[in-house]
Structure 1
Amino acid sequence: MNKLKNILLLVLLVSSTIAFSQTKESAIKDATATTKANIDMDFDTVIKHTLPAVLDMMGGKDAALQVLKSTMEGAKAQGLVFEKAEVIKVSELTKEQGQSRCIVEGYTQMTMSGQRVKTKIHYIGIYNDVDKYWWFIEAKQLNNKVLANKILPNFETALEIPEDDVQVEKI
């Protein structure tokens, strides 16, 4: 009887750990870590949380890493300064096509070339069941059916993908 109780306890612990990993809180944590990593130029973390199909389209992990580094270094050399970057909210999770998904709303404020750019951007989070963390992709990329089919063939979602908002002001 004790052996049966121990097995049931182990099953409960394992299943609660798996369920916990796929929570809204874990999506917020991973999205926040990715946002911070982008600002800190920690591109290994950014790559880790980028949907693998996007990395494949960029020529693989190493090529994507080089593109990210050179793009950010070039922008910083031209005066890009991040003033603020944060995760605003994460939608409720949904289970679709065998994946846990959510919408992440982020906000970035930066200056460059005498302008302040304020951006509200949306990402789709897809939970990586194997490695137990979230991948992200710009949601607007999946509004383009041709691109969406290359990245996520036969992608369908009931999630409402909001429009991004970009405001530019002279400073």
Structure 2
Amino acid sequence: MKTPLQFIIFFITSALVIQTTKAQVDQGAIDATEAYFTAKMCDDFETLINLTLPDLIDQAGGRDRMMTALSKIHNNQRSKGILLQEFKIKEEIEQTKTKSETHVLIPTVTISKVPGGTVTTESHLIAVGTESNSKWYIVETSSLNEFNIQKVIANWDNSIMLPFKKSPVFKEDK
């Protein structure tokens, strides 16, 4: 039988291990999110594809077609004067383990330059950790809801609720 002191030491040690593991998972997801936004800002389509779930690349018709689609989206935004300038990761990160994946819901704020001002958008990304969280993929949630998310993330189990979408905020240049 364990003494009260042994129980307290065991409890504290267990809590520290859980916190350390959570911090490691969060950091891997955060690193992938930062790489994702940096790639978007630098037009690094190769990195964006590497951070895209393989199933989505297959659905797009392969890497070459995905590269073409990303290039078209980028060129369309640039021709309209839209340029991602800044991103921030907020602290209210949620995570869960499902089957062989870790899902991390990451709240973000982006600021984009648009004709006549800036647009600030609060949204969420989902970082999907695979291979014991050694590989991370990023999924934007702008067009996802509880009814279609499993078409994108097959192992999604709804243990994390997708937040309501917020409208972007336009701030006119002075």
TM-score by length of 1: 0.75
Q: Count matched residues.
A: 152
Report the aligned-residue RMSD.
2.5
Compute the displacement of 1:30 (Å): 1.1
Q: Which has the larger helix fraction?
A: 1
- Shift of the 100–38 alpha-carbon distance from structure 1 to 2, 3 Å rule, reads same
User: For residue 109 of structure 1, what is the aligned residue in structure 2?
Assistant: 111
TM-superposed CA distance for 1:130, in Å, is: 7.2
Structure 2 counterpart of 1:56, from 33, 48, 58: 58
Task: Identify the residue that residue 75 of structure 1 maps to in structure 2.
Answer: 77
Deviations 1:3-27 (A, max 9, x none): xxxxxxxxxxxxxxxx699611111
Q: Tell me which residue corresponds to 1:157.
A: 158
State the match for 2:28 in structure 1: 26
Closer/same/farther in 2, CA of residues 103 and 154 from structure 1, 3 Å limit: closer
CA distance in 2, matches of 1:39, 1:33: 10
Q: Is residue 134 from structure 1 mapped to residue 133 from structure 2 by the alignment?
A: no
Once residues 21 and 64 of structure 1 are traced to their aligned partners in structure 2, the CA distance between those partners, rounded to angstroms, is 32
Specify which of 105, 115, 126 is matched with residue 124 of structure 1.
Answer: 126
Percent same amino acid at aligned positions? 22
CA distance in 2, matches of 1:157, 1:43: 30
Q: TM-score, normalised by structure 2?
A: 0.74
SS of corresponding position for 2:46: helix
Amino acid at match of 2:131: D
Distance 1:21 1:87, change over 3 A: closer
**What are structure 2's unaligned runs of at least 5 residues?**
1-20
Match of 1:44 among 46, 54, 58: 46
SS in 2 for 1:30: helix
Task: Specify which of 82, 86, 89 is matched with residue 87 of structure 1.
Answer: 89
How big is each residue's C-alpha offset from its partner over 1:72-104, in whole Å with a ceiling of 9 and x where there is no partner? 123223322333123223624321133111101
Q: For residue 70 of structure 2, what is the amino acid of its counterpart? A: L
